[in-house]
Structure 1
């Protein structure tokens, strides 16, 4: 019964958050069970473009390392901030949300080539946190009960936490940089004099993912009235 309750609760989570979180958990479980190897998942330009192992463009965003504190820490932030974005500023705009993922993923992949980064899931997590934090600047965040600060400081707190754990902060900086580029192009530049939206979600994504709005001028045909009963 507990599993049924958890499954029902999980199905209430918005589609993009549910799909991405489940993909990350299942990928990590497959590696833990030795059904997959991290060597089959990491980003390698030679294998992608010479051997046509194109799945690596996606799988490198799904693996966060073996089960442990780092994995659960990342999953907590993925689930929480992805969901808050999808239920908040992207509510009813699934196509725009997916396009943000695609934009961030492509840009991180291109920049990751310069830094020889093999797994970019953490960078995508930091990007989600950054965009949320800039769109909610007045929210106060409690960081594991240790620190309380305004939301825009959260990505930098995550980077400092990575540093304390002895991890490279290059991935965090990449997530912050890509998050800022998206935020600037989507939220800042269009509101400047002479500015306009440069990130336009392709129509096919909107047709595929967004519910079609009803035409306010549409008048349904009147229902047929039954004729008088024949004696």
Structure 2
């Protein structure tokens, strides 16, 4: 079976371990345009997405949602379209980096997680979500519920709003605008990505994790309406 792109996240955990073991510090990772463009510390364009703060509830919360919705997107609407999945990552990362120049954010990992949640939620609008057993709502409200929860944890909502904005831009250009009268597909995955990532379809009997049934944790658990 073809290795899933979600497995590429594994190297990210190394950065978390290095930071927790104090082999590196957040000062070596954060987004700083001056250090990037004047001192050519190009790695900061990537490493600012790999830091989610010290190990704690907020860190675990982000890790669970990042893995969970990344996996469901890959095995759901991006099934057999790994190149398109990678392109979404690159497109979202580029937009967040550009916006980051104006909103003075130093770490964008949480915004990236919210972007994935937003795209999944808009592609599964009829899934009912159960958040901590306290709130029941349909999937499109999930990013906003997470933003409210993040606010309760003392985080800035600017990060979540950025993720929602970038997720909406991608969803509109990829799913909405092409189906409008006079619309068209503006986002096209480069052929080089297709050559690298798109492999022949594997076992047709493989049964992936259903994208529309998150299950497992009660943090955003969902079920289809009428199910």
TM-score range, shorter chain: 0.7 to 0.9
SS at match of 1:62: coil
Aligned to 1:196: 184
Determine if the alignment matches structure 1 residue 161 to structure 2 residue 149. yes
How many residues are treated as equivalent by the alignment? Answer: 201
**C-alpha deviation, 1:16, in angstroms:** 2.1
- Alpha-carbon distance in structure 2 between the residues aligned to 1:172 and 1:92: 29
| 1:53 aligned to which of 41, 54, 60 | 41
What stretches of structure 1 of length at least 5 have no aligned partner?
A: 1-11, 214-231
Q: Quote how far apart the aligned CAs of 1:23 are.
A: 3.1
Distance in 2 (alpha carbons) for counterparts of 1:160 and 1:153: 11
Over alpha carbons, which structure has the higher Rg? 1
Matches within 5 A, 1:1-231: 15-20=4-9, 22-212=10-200
Cα distance in 2 for partners of 1:27, 1:52 equals 20
Q: What's the RMSD between the two structures over aligned residues?
A: 1.4
**Higher RCO, 1 vs 2 (CA within 8 Å, ≥6 residues apart):** 2
Q: Output the CA distance in 1 between the equivalents of 2:152 and 2:57.
A: 14
**Whole-angstrom CA distance in 2 between matches of 1:92 and 1:140:** 26
CA drift at 1:145: 1.8
Q: CA deviation at 1:165?
A: 0.9
| CA-CA distance at 1:14 after TM superposition | 5.6
Give the 3-state SS of the residue equivalent to 1:183 in structure 2.
helix
Gaps in structure 2 of 5+ consecutive residues: 202-227
CA distance in 2, matches of 1:50, 1:135: 41
SS in 2 for 1:28: helix
Superposed structure 1 runs of 4+ greater than 6 Å apart:
none
